[in-house]
Amino acid sequence: MSDGTPALTIEGLAKTYDDGTVGLEGLDLEVPAGEFFGLLGPNGAGKTTLINSVCNLIRTSGGRISVFGFAHDSMDARRLVGVAEQDPNLDRFLTVRESLVYHGGYFGMSAATAADRADEMIDVFDLRAKAHVRTSKLSGGMKRRLLLARALLHEPRLVILDEPTAGVDIELRHDLWSYIRLLHRQGTTILLTTHYLEEAESLCEDIALIAGGRIVARDTPEGLKRRYDAATLEQVYLQTVSTSLPAVMAAEAEAP
Ligand SMILES: Nc1ncnc2c1ncn2[C@@H]1O[C@H](COP(=O)(O)OP(=O)(O)OP(=O)(O)O)[C@@H](O)[C@H]1O
Ligand SMILES: [Mg+2]
């Protein structure tokens, strides 16, 4: 949006799960419209909790979230966001193509438009051979392809990808990033989580490191490396949010 409204504004976001586990603690974050943004942090840091909160998939315990200025639980916000969740949640009784066409329907597309977009996404994600196969019969990587195709189907202005390349082959990685880069060039805002730090470093304009449900650092990849006197983003990560390695590294440094 050219009026400067951020794609995402999060203020004081808190989430405590029913069993008492604290997922997020008073988290603040703003993602400008049009940015390619990376959210990095160790397992259990709160990345998926944050994403599920933004997408209104879980109930938050406190704080405020807006998407392009709309409350995150409004229909306006939902239409503007496309999410590929970390855990594939596909209807096992639908075929690949049906999954996409029905998704278009949920987002108010006409049957003809949804069908056209479904075919387009099937080609982008190389699912043509499986278009009429039930999702329960897809391989793990194919399920991931379908999740991504579905997330992008309704042309969201904010695309959220929660570990999209975990366990996928080199071809999908390549196709996915070239397509996402194209969307980004066209103005789409991207929020990505990944444990592949090189991927994040080459793709993201801006990165937030999260640990224990809080943002620990936030800057451009270059800015982070400068601030932490690090040659790579991985070194920044190890210095800021890694839970185990600093102790190991310190012990190594002390060894004769
Ligand atoms: N449904 C749930 N009930 C209770 N605790 C949960 C639930 N979902 C997540 N948590 C806890 O919330 C914390 C944050 O988890 P979250 O899934 O957000 O981490 P993450 O940063 O996405 O990690 P990963 O890199 O492993 O995907 C963890 O302690 C996790 O065990
Ligand atoms: Mg996660």
- Number of domains observed in the structure of the chain: 1
Domain carrying residue 14: 8-254
Q: What is the CATH number of the domain that holds 150?
A: 3.40.50.300
pTM beyond 0.95, yes or no: no
In-domain check, residue 3: no
Nearby residues for ligand 2 (ion, Cβ within 5 Å)? 47-48, 86
In-domain check, residue 2: no
pLDDT tens for residues 68-87? 999 999 999 999 999 999 99
Distance CA 242, CA 234 (A): 10
Nearest-atom number in ligand 1 for the CA of 44 is: 19
CA 131 to each of CA 87, 92, 113, 148, 157: distance values in angstroms, whole numbers, following the listed order? 21, 14, 17, 14, 26
pLDDT tens for residues 72-127? 999 999 999 999 999 988 999 999 999 999 999 999 999 999 999 999 999 999 99
In-domain check, residue 146: yes
In-domain check, residue 1: no
Name the residue at shortest CA distance from atom 31 of ligand 1.
44
Lining residues, ligand 1, CB within 6 Å: 17, 19, 21, 23, 41, 43-49, 86
In-domain check, residue 176: yes
pLDDT tens for residues 205-218? 999 999 999 999 99
First to last CA, the chain: 57
Nearest-atom number in ligand 1 for the CA of 45 is: 21
The residue whose CB lies within 8 Å of the most ligand 1 atoms, and thus the one to mutate among 25, 47, 50, 59, is 47
Nearest-atom number in ligand 1 for the CA of 49 is: 18
In-domain check, residue 191: yes
In-domain check, residue 134: yes
Ligand 1 centroid to Cα of residue 185, in Å, is 32
